[in-house]
Amino acid sequence: MFDALVVNKDEDGKTSAAVTQLGLDDLPNGDVVVAVEFSTVNYKDGLCIGPGGGLVRNYPHVPGIDFAGTVESSQDARYKPGDKVVLTGWRVGEAHWGGYSQKARVKADWLVPLPDGLDTRQAMAVGTAGFTAMLAVMALEDHGIKKGPVLVTGAAGGVGSVATAILANLGYQVAGVTGRPETADYLTSLGATQIVAREEINETVKRPLEGETWGGCVDAVGGAMLARVLGQMEYGASVAAVGLAGGAALPATVIPFLLRGVNLLGIDSVMQPYDNRVRAWKRIAKDLPMDKLEAMVQPATLSDLPKLGADILNGQVKGRVVVDVNA
């Protein structure tokens, strides 16, 4: 028997989450059994721990869209007992039981070998948020980052924190947008050279183009802020869109694309192909300063998850939560 955070839904549609004992026979089908060591908390996890957000198909359910641990048994030749692995995405923790459990059984295709230079705890300090941040940075690099500062919106969140640290470590000037003034010192410690108050950039303006300010952007907010940022990009610069905390609607015009050649790059981490996953994780091990990563970490246990799930939905989680599932 082992512990897992199990979410149930009653006849009235109300969900509740509690740490429960499970056995191997309770786990869904898969090729590989992993002894999970660490997981983390993302916005999707908050939804799956709580109301579901339309992501969870069946109850009871074990959330946790990320995990890292050690292979315990494998029916696939690519993995053997003792191998260290990491999993992000593939709708694990949503449609398939996830990492808020001391054991998980998943498809081998969903796993990636843990890269040299990272341990399982560090991998979950990175998690989907950090993996997404690295994908965004890689996309900006592939399209050419211009001379101006790189803007990071939602900079104190999970994606924004890692993106700020990576970009600063790569030598870029980073401007971090935050609606929480108390996070300014935190962002500066990650390498941000400029703090932009959210209210300065969160409203659309009638002019489709403003001054060419930003050499690139990692945008975790979307909505009106993304529309405003598009009109402030340098000629030929790119915005990597990774989130929609500010809404899914985009009240923008096509003018920045037509007159400035601005690129809007969509970043998906869930169904990312295997080869690019390996590339991103290797870059994370090389380009994300581990001391900066550690400064983002908030430790947690399985029993902390119901509250943390609610907190992240309310924008009250800073940096990265690392869940020790065996604590």
Mean per-residue pLDDT of the chain: 95
Which pLDDT score, from 0 to 100, does residue 53 have?
A: 82
Section 195-217 average pLDDT:
91
* pLDDT tens readout for residues 145-157: 999 999 999 999 8
Instruction: Give 185's Cβ-side CA count (13 Å radius).
Output: 1
Q: What percent of the chain has pLDDT over 90?
A: 90
Length in residues, the chain: 327
Does the pTM of the predicted model rise above 0.95? no
Tokens of 24: 């191997």
* pLDDT tens readout for residues 273-307: 999 999 999 999 999 999 999 988 999 999 999 99
Which residues is 8 bridged to in the sheet? 16
268 closest CA partner among 255, 277, 281, 256: 277
Q: What percent of the chain has pLDDT over 70?
A: 100
Which pLDDT score, from 0 to 100, does residue 316 have?
A: 87
Q: Please, which residues have CB within 8 angstroms of residue 5's CB and are 6 or more apart in sequence?
A: 17, 18, 19, 20, 49, 62, 63, 64, 100, 101, 302, 305, 306
Contact 312, 43 (CB under 8 A): yes
Which pLDDT score, from 0 to 100, does residue 113 have?
A: 97
Q: How far is CA 157 from CA 41, 178, 315, in A?
A: 11, 9, 8
* Residue 202 pLDDT > 90: no
Phi/psi at 125 (5° precision): -65, -30
Which pLDDT score, from 0 to 100, does residue 310 have?
A: 94
Which pLDDT score, from 0 to 100, does residue 245 have?
A: 85
Which pLDDT score, from 0 to 100, does residue 288 have?
A: 96
* pLDDT tens readout for residues 54-84: 899 899 999 999 999 999 999 999 999 999 9
Confidence tier at 319 by pLDDT (50, 70, 90)? confident
103 closest CA partner among 146, 39, 14, 189: 39
Which pLDDT score, from 0 to 100, does residue 204 have?
A: 73
Section 244-249 average pLDDT:
90
| Residue listed under structure tokens 């907190």 | 311
Rounded distance, CA 195 to CA 189, Å? 12
Q: Are strands 320-324 and 32-40 parallel, antiparallel or unpaired?
A: antiparallel
Which pLDDT score, from 0 to 100, does residue 325 have?
A: 98
Which pLDDT score, from 0 to 100, does residue 116 have?
A: 93
Rounded distance, CA 57 to CA 85, Å? 26
* pLDDT tens readout for residues 89-145: 999 999 999 999 999 999 999 999 999 999 999 999 999 999 999 999 999 999 999
Section 256-275 average pLDDT:
97
